[in-house]
Chains A and B, each alone.
Chain A
Amino acid sequence: QKVSVEVLDHLEHLALVDFRDSEGVERLQKAIQFADQLHEVNTDGVEPMDSVLEDRCLYLREDDVTEGNCTKELLENAREKVEEYFVAPPGNIPLPKLEERDTFPQGS
């Protein structure tokens, strides 16, 4: 089953990277096909494993401030800033839909 254009569009919105061309879409198709091999394995009664350290207690340190005050160093790597703010372009403007974008090949 091929991935529908709606899902491709959805993925581009979620990931905020684009497929660039039909090769990118092909790559995804192949990746899904590859992953389908997982279904050959019988996992009845098996719990999913998040971490190999699941039998141990996670270390949580005391809620005390031990370091910080490094605003200047942190801002140094940002390209656009004003005083102590990172500057972003206006938000809440959704990306244009797939059909309206010129970065996606039509009819793939």
Chain B
Amino acid sequence: QVSAALKEGRVTPTELCQQCLSLIKNTKFLNAYITIAEETALKQAEASEERYKRGQPLGVLDGIPIAVKDNFNTTGIETTCASHMLRGYISPYNATVVQKLLDQGAVLLGKTNLDEFAMGSGSTDGVFGPVRNPWSYSRQYKEKSVPKSHSEDKESNWVITGGSSGGSAAAVSSFTCFAALGSDTGGSTRNPAAHCGVVGLKPTYGLISRHGLIPLVNSMDVPGILTRCVDDAAVVLGSLAGHDPKDSTTIQDNFKPFELPSLTDVSKLSIGIPKEYHAPGLSGEILALWSKAADLFRNAGAKVVEVSLPHTCYSIVCYHVLCTAEVASNMARFDGLEYGHRSDMNESTESMYAATRREGFNDVVRGRILSGNYFLLKQNYEKYFVKAQKVRRLIANDFVKVFQSGVDVLLTPTTLSDAAPYKEFIKEDNRTRSAQNDILTQAANMAGLPAINVPTALSERGLPVGLQFIGRSFQEQQLLTVAKWFEKQVQFPMIQLEVKRHDHDAFQHEKSASFS
């Protein structure tokens, strides 16, 4: 919608940019952004405006304000990964996906907050503090929350965004940008998308370049896309997908950007409902919603079948070993010599490295490095690492079997419950929380399959709940077509954000929601 508005001149890119920047300032308490690139954003907006005046926009994304998770390299803008290790690090290059967006004329507003080095499921463990879910400040949530007493601080009841791309999800959800980049290794894009009521797409591994994305697990990482509607996600996907000579894990097949058809007839579809996704701890609310969604498809004529992915329950343990092992390797590059934090300790190379890493990494990161090294020790290699790789194959094969049996798309919940209040969430440590929350999203990363979260309904507490669709490898078009049909059926409500201006007048925000 906003792209059309830009084309018709109803709004200019600079106006759009300034509105977003001012909204970012008004929503600072969400802590969604780490760095705001005000000057460069305005320059990009001005350049875009020139192009529209000449009637030569670069495409649908020209002039559209976007945000990028702070683990993507961006030239001239600080990239921190929410860690002390990279404070002050200014990259000399743009990640391929960032470059692609900029080449399309998108306006980069800033870098969003995350869990340190993308490790976590709450966006609570970064050095810049936790991200607050914009829905904590929505009329819908406030109406449902019962204050225990007049003097209870409403501020303390805010809920988490989920993680680790929480900043990106919050930015999209609070209208400060029209699309954001996240990353997805175990669910890090879909989890916060579900909690913040936005669309979160995890593309097939190998479709989008990882060059410039600071790696966590090389065999599972993908850049993720967060938008307010499925059509927008398809547009962004179209501009990002494709082979990159700088990332040899991208496939060489030609990628053709597609527009999503508006499906009316779902009778030829086969939807699979994996019974193991009825995981322990799944809230009754979400179970009911999942069931309702299955009925929705059934009543519309689609074939809905129960399927089995027997190794689902082992995906978290498998992930735990493979992730920590790859992390141990990937974090080895942070030694303080070439970039990033460097300790003052100067007695020897090793002691400088050790001190730099002790000072630069938080407990979560250090814990994973140490566990990873343990699993990679010669005496443990076969027992843990290779074993996990074998289990990985079993998990991937489960999916292959199910898709071979004729199922087109799988329908599952995305999270076990709606967003938890921050005070509750921090009662357990990072690893426990990740293990609990990643269970529904992790297997898709193991198998490299595309998956998308579609916001479905509000919970009893007035918070968003989403459902997940998992598709066949490289069949994003089919996956997104089904997701778009579903989105139309459920009509997820728009957030009624109550944000105070600086002059203390409360006002509601109902801007145009999508750009396509």
Contact = CB atoms under 8 A, between A and B. Distances in A.
Judged by DSSP, the binding face of A is loop
B388 interface: yes
B350 A16 contact: yes
Contact of A73 (B92, B321, B336, B473): B92
A16 B349 CA distance: 11
B348 A89 contact: yes
Given A38-B317, A48-B393, 14 more contacts: A15-B369, A16-B353, A17-B358, A27-B429, A31-B367, A31-B374, A35-B388, A41-B387, A48-B390, A58-B248, A59-B248, A74-B92, A76-B92, A92-B348
11 contacts: A10-B377, A15-B369, A19-B366, A35-B321, A37-B314, A39-B383, A41-B311, A49-B392, A50-B389, A52-B219, A89-B346
A15 B370 contact: yes
A53 interface: yes
Given A11-B370, A18-B358, A38-B384, A46 B339 contact: no
Interface in A6-25: 7, 10-12, 14-20, 24
Interface string B22-45: 000000000000000000000000
B347 A89 contact: yes
B371 interface: yes
Given A43-B390, A79-B336, A24 B367 contact: yes
B328 A77 contact: no
B373 A46 contact: no
B205 interface: yes
Contacts of B369: 15, 17
Contacts of A19: 366, 370
Contacts of B317: 34-35, 37-38
B374 A51 contact: no
A41 B354 CA distance: 37
A79 B370 CA distance: 27
B205 A53 contact: yes
Interface residues of B, number: 70
Interface stretch (B118-126, B249-257, B410-418): B249-257
Contact of A49 (B348, B358, B384, B396): B396
Nearest to A60: B248
B251 A53 contact: yes
A85 B254 CA distance: 42
B77 to A, nearest CB: 14
A87 B429 CA distance: 38
B390 A90 contact: no
A80 to B, nearest CB: 7
Contacts of A107: none
Interface in A26-76: 27-28, 30-32, 34-35, 37-41, 43, 46-53, 56, 58-61, 70, 73-74, 76
Contacts of A89: 345-349, 351-352
A95 interface: yes
Interface string B396-410: 100000000000000
A93 B89 contact: no
A88 interface: yes
Contacts of A7: 374, 377
A48 B375 CA distance: 15
A4 B345 CA distance: 29
A94 B186 CA distance: 37
Nearest to B386: A48
Nearest to B218: A51
Contact of B249 (A12, A17, A51): A51
Interface string A93-106: 11100000001000
B90 to A, nearest CB: 7
A27 B345 CA distance: 27
Interface of A: 3, 7, 10-12, 14-20, 24, 27-28, 30-32, 34-35, 37-41, 43, 46-53, 56, 58-61, 70, 73-74, 76-80, 86, 88-95, 103
B245 A77 contact: no
B357 interface: yes
B446 to A, nearest CB: 8
Contact of B393 (A40, A49, A80, A86): A49
A72 to B, nearest CB: 9
A79 B251 CA distance: 38
Contacts of B371: 27-28, 31-32, 35
B503 interface: no
A46 B320 contact: no
Contact of A48 (B205, B314, B363, B389): B389
Pick the most buried of A27, A35, A74, A86: most chain B CB atoms within 10 A of its CB. A35
B394 A46 contact: yes
Contacts of B337: 78, 80, 86, 88
A91 B243 CA distance: 41
Nearest to A42: B394
Interface string B434-453: 01000000000001100000
Contact of B391 (A14, A38, A53): A38
B324 interface: yes
A49 B374 CA distance: 20
B47 to A, nearest CB: 23
Given A18-B358, A59-B245, A89-B346, A24 B370 contact: yes
B206 interface: yes
Contacts of A46: 390, 393-394
B461 to A, nearest CB: 31
Nearest to B251: A56
B224 interface: no
Q: 8 tightest A-B contacts by CB? A: A52-B448, A48-B389, A93-B348, A77-B339, A73-B92, A43-B390, A49-B393, A31-B371
